[in-house]
Amino acid sequence: MRAPMARCFVTRVLPGPALDGLRDRHEVDLWPDRLPPPYEELAARAAGAEGLLTTLTDRVDAALLEHCPDLRVISNYAVGHDNIDVHAAAARSIVVGNTPDVLTEATADMTFALLLAAARKLPEAVDSVRDGDWLTWEPGRYLGQAVAGATLGIVGLGRIGSAVARRAFGFNMTVLYTGGGPGSGAVRRVPLDRLLEESDFVTVHCPLTAATYRLFDAEALGRMRPSAILINTARGPIIDQEALRDALVAGQIGGAALDVTDPEPPPPDDPLLSTPNLIVVPHIGSATRVAREQMAELAVENLLAGLDGRPLPHQVRVAV
């Protein structure tokens, strides 16, 4: 039996037809702008909602939830849920869902795209053609790093980290990992310090928690090889960006490629953006049409289930 029509606030326009299915069942208040709703607007619109469909840019904290007496379910259009105070939600019997699995391969593809682009100096090479600096074939220009046979260190061997490892095997890379993950005979688990010291490439796939906040500080970056390249497609605050800039300017590490920053986007005058040997792209790890539409489907499925009083297909479990 279907639940009565409920009011839902959806904080962004989503690709694909999934929101049409939500509109067929419930009243939908959709935020139409490219920029997410400001916190005050989010709080005001969520106050009368029973269902909330958020993205990673929406801060849903205890203060906001305190003024949402009718809210029963929050569906986050993301794998991570660090933008939501899940403990405050659980205390109010509000269930929280996320969208795992469907963006794994897309994000792993982007990780390897960034790795290859940084290793082979693709941005500099592309700019040279556009700037008219391509004079002829030159033996000493744009010399990058070899990827085949190199050592890749993966920080967090979950779904995405494991997918990155599978790609690395195609390049005959030695794969080390640290942090959570099942591992296998093909990869070797080592302490973080050792991973940093032995890896030619280090890629970040751990969740953002109190323990991983600025995990890559000046000390951690100082343990990396001078030629090493750091890739982050997880969450921006895992890296201390000031320390990263200092390390790149000093030539302490070879380069970095970021799909995520802190904040997002960086202000136009942020010194990070003029840092040498750095690639920054606008959080597009899951940006394939297939992945983003499937994320929308999962997010809507979670919301519909919660409003029906059914278990969420993809519910965030809260540790007691």
- Same domain for 257 and 301? no
How would residue 318 be classed by pLDDT, with cut points 50, 70 and 90?
Answer: confident
Confidence of residue 236 (pLDDT cuts 50, 70, 90): very high
Same domain, 94 and 191: no
This prediction's pTM: 0.91
Task: Convert the pLDDT of each residue in 165-213 to its tens digit.
Answer: 999 999 999 999 998 666 666 899 999 999 999 999 999 999 999 999 9
In a domain? residue 220: yes
Which residue range forms the structural domain that includes residue 65? 7-102+289-308
Domain count, the chain: 2
Instruction: Check whether residue 172 and residue 98 sit in a common domain.
Output: no
Q: State whether 116 and 207 are in the same domain.
A: yes
296 and 250, same structural domain? no
**Are 147 and 272 in a shared domain?**
yes
**Per-residue model confidence as pLDDT tens digits over 80-90:** 999 999 999 99
DSSP letters, the chain, are -PPPP-EEEE-S--SSSHHHHHHHHSEEEE--SSSPPPHHHHHHHHTT-SEEEEETT--B-HHHHHT-TT--EEEEESS--TTB-HHHHHHTT-EEE---STTHHHHHHHHHHHHHHHHTTHHHHHHHHHTT---S--TTSS-----TT-EEEEE--SHHHHHHHHHHHHTT-EEEEESSS---TTSEE--HHHHHHH-SEEEE-PPP-TTTTT-B-HHHHHTS-TT-EEEE-S-GGGB-HHHHHHHHHTTSSSEEEES--SSSSPPTT-GGGG-TTEEE--S-TT-SHHHHHHHHHHHHHHHHHHHHTPPPTTBPP---
226 and 109 inside one domain? yes
Q: Is residue 113 part of a domain?
A: yes
Q: Are 29 and 111 in a shared domain?
A: no
Positions annotated as catalytic residues are 235, 264, 283
CATH of the domain at 77: 3.40.50.720
